[in-house]
Chains A and B, each alone.
Chain A
Amino acid sequence: MDAIIEGLEKALQLIVSGDPEVLNISARSLLVSGTATLLAAAVSLPLGLAIGVRSFRGKRIVRGVFNALLGIPTVALGVILYLFFSRSGPLGFLHLMYTTLGIALGQAVLITPIAVSFITSAIESVDPEIRHLARTLGAGETEASFAVLRESASGVALAIIASFNRAVAELGIALMIGGNIRGLTRVLTTAIAIETGRGELALGIALAIILLLLVTAVTIVTSVVGRRR
Chain B
Amino acid sequence: MNPVSLLETRDLVKRYDDVVALDGVNLEIEQGDFLALVGPNGSGKTTLLRIIAAIEPSTSGEIYYRGKIVEGSEMLRRATTMVFQKAVVFSRSVYDNVAYGLRLRKMSKAEVDSRVGEALRQVELDGFERRNARKLSGGEQQRVSLARAIALDVELLLLDEPTANLDPRSSAIMERIISWINREGGATIVLATHNLLQAGNFGGKLALLMNGKLTQVGGADQLLRSLVGPMWRFAGHENIFLGEAVPEGDGTALISLQDDLKLVAVTPRKGKVVAQVRPEDIIVSLAPISSSARNVLRGKVIGITDQESSVMVRVDAGKEFVVRITHKSFREMSLTLGTSVYLIFKASAVEVV
Interface residues of A (CB under 8 A from B): 127, 129-130, 132-140, 143, 147, 150-151
Contact present for B100 and A137 (CB under 8 Å): yes
Which residue of A130, A143, A150, A151 is within 8 Å of B104 (Cβ)? A143
Are B152 and A138 in contact (CB-based, < 8 A)? yes
- If the complex has contacts A137-B101, A138-B78, A143-B104, are A129 and B86 also in contact, measured as CB distance less than 8 A? yes
Let me know if A129 and B77 touch, CB within 8 A: no
Query: Closest CB-CB distance, A190 to chain B, in whole Å?
Result: 42
Q: How far is the CA of A134 from the CA of B91 in the complex (A)?
A: 13
CB atoms of A151 and B55 under 8 A apart? no
Q: Would B90 and A135 count as touching, CB distance under 8 A?
A: no
Q: Is the interface of A mostly helix, strand, loop or mixed?
A: helix
User: What chain B residues lie within 8 Å of A137 (beta carbons)?
Assistant: 81, 100-101, 104, 148, 152
Report B21-61 CB contacts with A as 1/0, cut-off 8 Å: 00000000000000000000000000000100111000000
Q: Quick one: closest B residue to A132, CB to CB?
A: B55
Interface residues in B92-107 (C-beta closer than 8 Å to A): 100-101, 104-105
For residues 68 through 90 of chain B, which have their beta carbon under 8 Å from a beta carbon of chain A?
Answer: 73-74, 77-78, 80-82, 84, 86, 88, 90
CB within 8 Å for A147 and B90 given contacts A134-B100, A135-B55, A138-B78: yes
Which residues of chain B come closer than 8 Å to A132, judged between CB atoms? 50, 53, 55, 84, 88
Contact A138 B104 (CB under 8 A): yes
Report A-chain residues with C-beta under 8 Å of the C-beta of B74: 140
CB distance from B26 to the nearest CB of A (A): 24
Q: Among B53, B88, B105, B148, which residue has the most Cβ atoms of chain A within 10 A?
A: B88
In Å, the complex CA distance between A129 and B77 comes to 16
Query: Contacting B90 at CB < 8 Å: which of A136, A140, A151?
Result: A151
A132 CA / B294 CA spacing, docked (Å): 49
Identify 30 residue pairs between A and B in the complex whose beta-carbon atoms are under 8 Å apart, listed by A's number.
A127-B88, A130-B90, A132-B50, A132-B53, A132-B84, A132-B88, A133-B88, A133-B90, A135-B53, A135-B54, A135-B55, A135-B73, A136-B80, A136-B158, A137-B81, A137-B100, A137-B101, A137-B148, A138-B77, A138-B78, A138-B101, A138-B104, A138-B105, A138-B152, A139-B104, A143-B104, A147-B90, A147-B100, A150-B90, A151-B91
Kindly state the interface size class of chain B when it binds its partner: 20 to 34
The distance from the CB of A154 to the nearest CB of chain B, in whole angstroms, is 9
A138 contact set on B, CB distance < 8 A: 77-78, 81, 101, 104-105, 152
Min CB gap A187→B, angstroms: 38
Minimum-distance CB pairs A-B, first 10:
A137-B101, A136-B82, A129-B88, A132-B55, A138-B104, A133-B88, A136-B81, A138-B101, A136-B53, A138-B78
The residue on B at minimum CB distance from A152 is: B91
Chain A residues with CB under 8 Å of B88's CB are 127, 129-130, 132-133
C-alpha spacing A187/B286, complex, angstroms: 89
CA distance A143 to B74 in the complex (A): 13
Contacts of A133 in B (CB 8 A): 84, 88, 90
- Whether A136 lies near B55 (C-beta < 8 A) is yes
- Who on chain A is nearest to B74 by CB? A140
Neighbouring A residues of B91 by C-beta, 8 Å: 151
From residue A35, how far is it (CB to closest CB) to chain B in Å? Answer: 31
> Which of the listed residues A132, A135, A138 has the most CB atoms from chain B within 10 Å of its own CB?
A138
CA–CA, A132 and B90, complex, Å: 12
CB nearest to B55 among chain A residues: A132
Docked Cα-Cα span, A213 to B293, in Å, equals 74
**Docked CA distance A150–B100 (Å):** 13
CA distance A221 to B158 in the complex (A): 44
Name the residue on A nearest B100 (C-beta): A137
Known: A132-B84, A135-B54, A138-B152. 15 other contacts (CB 8 A): A130-B90, A133-B84, A135-B55, A135-B73, A136-B53, A136-B80, A136-B81, A136-B82, A136-B158, A137-B101, A137-B148, A137-B152, A138-B104, A150-B90, A151-B91
What distance in Å separates the Cβ of B125 from its nearest Cβ neighbour in chain A? 18
Do the beta carbons of A135 and B77 come within 8 Å of each other? yes
Q: Which residues of A lie under 8 Å from residue B77 when comparing CB positions?
A: 135-136, 138
A151 neighbours in B (Cβ, 8 Å): 90-91
